[in-house]
Structure 1
Amino acid sequence: MAGILVNFYRKMVSTLIIIVCTFSFFLIAGFISSSNISIFKFKVNGDIGAEVFLRIISYENPLIGHALTGSNTDLPIFSTGFKLLTNIEMNDLRSLVRTGIPGFMAFDSNFLIADEGVDFTDIPIESAPPMEVLLQERNMAANELEELNSGKIYTGSSPPEKSVFIYHTHSWESYLPLLGLEGAENENEAVDGKTNITIVGELLGKELEKRGIGARVDKTNIGQELDEKGWLTHRSYEVSRSLVQEAMAGNQKLEYFIDLHRDSVRKDSTTAMINNEPYARLVFVIGEENKNFQKNLKFANELHKILNKNYPGISKGVLPKKGIGVDGIYNQDLHANTVVVEVGGVDNNMKELKNTIEALADAISQLYWKAEEVNG
């Protein structure tokens, strides 16, 4: 009987030791990953899963390890192990809930190319109000209209050859200040069938024409088109696709396709002071589920780099999108130089928008004339 009890207690002690050791492992992993103890880190580059796999293989084949040397990205070993065991990333709170909240994956993205200080809290948010709301038409607030018409207005002739097609898949997206609703708590009030993102598209077209680049600005009321077809807003990219295809068929010389949108996040994330002037910040969105993804990425990244070189912080970065609840293509399979551009957010005013559109036109112009030199 005594022997049986001894064996029982030994098993209990062994089990307790295993539990304590396991718990201690998680505590130590959390401590190390939250600190900057470099002795527990090795250098890798790119996607964590792939690089860890390559690092392990490199122990058997040193030639593979050479591809991983010289990187400047730290990867904590213990937090990586913790992620593999639990599927939880210690530096991303979303990993705690991404599998537990229905529909959460639709908003679970990361910037592929990001400006300093930008994280997942700066990711653009899309939300569409009921159809009857987005079809309403209001005039622009008087002070914003005055700002729109202030300064030197370009009156020169438009270049005969159109090279840029500007359109607006979510044409109802507007800005609270433009509607006289500055400071409103509900961001979904920033929608209108008349005073909306298409005004920003017209500004971009004029700025490009100033720089000798012909631009066609499409102002189709997408909300109205959806309503006439009996479609919901998630099919808006089907409507805009037909517009892009029609434009391409009518003009073989179109080289750039810019789909302008407005973000739904608030002012602290969408506004920057640059050289003592206020700007609406930009985000470039590309669909990962289209055949031109790499070409789209190159195009967006070139714009991002030019912008942040000349206007530091104006571009948050390049955001790839795919998966449930998002389009994932954004008509970008139609041409390599196609991109969705989020211009500011619901709280940005006309002055901030005008400043940003001038900067965006500068960047597009730089790419355009550089390509002309090469082709010429």
Structure 2
Amino acid sequence: MKWTSATLNLSPIRKTFQSAGAVGKTFFLLSMASVLFFVLLSVGSYLQAAKVTTSPVSSMKGLAASVSNLFFIDMLGMEVPHLNRDFQKSTFSQGNVVHFAFRFLTDINPRDPQSLIASEVPGLELDKTTVLRTSKATNPSEPVDYVPSPQVLQINNSPSETPVSTPNPTKEPASTPQPLKSAGNNVAFIYQTHSNESFLPELKGVTNPDEAYSDKINVIQVGERLAQNLEKVGIGAVHSTTVYPGVVKDFKYPYSYKYSLKTLQEAVSAHPDLDYYFDIHRDSAARSRTTVTIDNKDYAQVYFIIGGKNPNWKKNEEFANQIHQILEAKHPGISKGIHAKTENEGNGLYNQNFSPNNILIEVGGPFNTLEECYRTTDWLAEAISEVILNAKKVNAPAVALKK
């Protein structure tokens, strides 16, 4: 059947539009644009609902993540006159509407060329996270990742390097694999995937934060401090002191989590009682973003990182949140919250599929001292101890009452 204007009976609409003045035509076009806009929203919502995902990052994206705060102000302004702003700056201008619809449907920002390939090229969104749990920190910020060059790792692994100071010294970390402790009731395992991450105030002749890497003084000492504190309260802890760039043949930084996965597997084989796993890192942000002053003392702040690629990420997040909440209650400002990253924003997995009690904790940044990190680690150990001991009480077998 051939459709004609007579068949569709469009003549009344055409006549009305032709007879309408400039104001009427403008109103008609704006009405059609509004209809089209909401149709796009409906289609976008349907497409997003059709995507079945368990990622913490994807679950927090959507309409609210695709628009700015001014978008909602403009929506309110349509009903509340005094909220209206200059039309040229309105979110509902033609350019902004098209930009929003495109970004909402594709998750690509037309005004950011990097976003066109960021979702396909790992590493381009390293500094982008989704905040799962906020904190009371007065300097909120996202964790910053930095991939050191092979030259930096090689230079800062030189035998001539010596630490400037070692406040509250612990056992000096070795550059070769160390045997794990003798088998026993060890329930906590501490390791450092990026074992060379270090701190500028402790390094001699190093001033560039991008070069804050060392095989002699680094996050391994922070991990050792944590292990010692857990041992003090009766929680058996095993600590790996492996410096991967020094022991792995043809070491490649992007494969760091493959190396540490082998460490995890060896640890469980030697210690079947292990149930909690802590991967200690150091952030790469500026000092103002990794430091808080409490009672006239400076403390390194901590981030909890959850891998969105892990299908069981919620269990890891629940474990991290128990520790985070204790820190929030007892030492507000120490924790920077819990952040999630996908494989496009980091490793995305962090070996957290190994166990629901495996979490990544970043302590301080390149501008913090070991002393500041130790102070924080002492509080972190208290929080971890409380979580583990409470879990033991809950899981303890019930004692039969005597008759």
Same fold (TM over 0.5): yes
Query: Residue in 1 aligned with 2:236?
Result: 214
> In the TM superposition, what is the alpha-carbon distance from 1:203 to its structure 2 partner?
0.9
> In the TM superposition, what is the alpha-carbon distance from 1:122 to its structure 2 partner?
2.8
Query: Residue in 2 aligned with 1:300?
Result: 320
Task: Deviation per CA, 1:254-298: give whole Å up to 9, x if none.
Answer: 111000011111100000012322110000111111133111000
> In the TM superposition, what is the alpha-carbon distance from 1:117 to its structure 2 partner?
5.9
The separation in 1 between residues aligned to 2:228 and 2:260, in whole angstroms, is 22
Query: Residue in 1 aligned with 2:48?
Result: none
The separation in 2 between residues aligned to 1:133 and 1:296, in whole angstroms, is 36
Match of 1:357 among 377, 385, 398: 377
- Kept in 2, the 8 Å contact 1:274–1:312? The answer is no
The separation in 1 between residues aligned to 2:28 and 2:285, in whole angstroms, is 44
Task: Deviation per CA, 1:284-325: give whole Å up to 9, x if none.
Answer: 111111133111000111111111111111000111111326
Task: Deviation per CA, 1:188-222: give whole Å up to 9, x if none.
Answer: 12101121111111111111111111111101111
Match of 1:252 among 255, 272, 288: 272
> In the TM superposition, what is the alpha-carbon distance from 1:135 to its structure 2 partner?
2.8
Match of 1:178 among 199, 202, 209: 202
- Kept in 1, the 8 Å contact 2:131–2:339? The answer is yes
The separation in 2 between residues aligned to 1:258 and 1:241, in whole angstroms, is 12
Query: Residue in 2 aligned with 1:140?
Result: 163
Unaligned runs of 5+ in 2: 1-17, 35-58, 66-70, 76-90, 171-181, 397-403
**Which shifted more, 319-328 or 360-369?**
319-328
- Kept in 2, the 8 Å contact 1:106–1:323? The answer is no
The separation in 2 between residues aligned to 1:134 and 1:344, in whole angstroms, is 20
> In the TM superposition, what is the alpha-carbon distance from 1:116 to its structure 2 partner?
4.0
The separation in 1 between residues aligned to 2:279 and 2:288, in whole angstroms, is 24
Alignment map for 1:268-283 (pairs within 5 Å)? 268-283=288-303
The separation in 2 between residues aligned to 1:362 and 1:159, in whole angstroms, is 24
Q: Number of matched residues?
A: 311
> In the TM superposition, what is the alpha-carbon distance from 1:127 to its structure 2 partner?
2.0
- TM normalised by structure 1 equals 0.72
Match of 1:122 among 142, 148, 151: 142
The separation in 1 between residues aligned to 2:28 and 2:346, in whole angstroms, is 43
Q: Which has the larger radius of gyration?
A: 2
Superposed CA RMSD in Å reads 3.9
Alignment map for 1:326-337 (pairs within 5 Å)? 326-337=346-357
Query: Residue in 1 aligned with 2:103?
Result: 87
Query: Residue in 1 aligned with 2:190?
Result: 166
Query: Residue in 1 aligned with 2:224?
Result: 202
- The answer on 1:189 being equivalent to 2:202 is no
Change (3 A) 1:95 1:148: farther
- Kept in 2, the 8 Å contact 1:172–1:196? The answer is yes
Task: Deviation per CA, 1:212-244: give whole Å up to 9, x if none.
Answer: 111111011111234x1x242100100100000
Letter in 1 for 2:62: G
Structure 1 SS opposite 2:144: coil
Unaligned runs of 5+ in 1: 1-8, 26-45, 53-73, 89-93, 151-157
Letter in 2 for 1:87: R
Letter in 2 for 1:211: V
The separation in 1 between residues aligned to 2:24 and 2:257, in whole angstroms, is 58
Match of 2:392 among 367, 372, 375: 372
Letter in 2 for 1:326: G
Match of 1:49 among 46, 62, 66: 62
- TM normalised by structure 2 equals 0.67
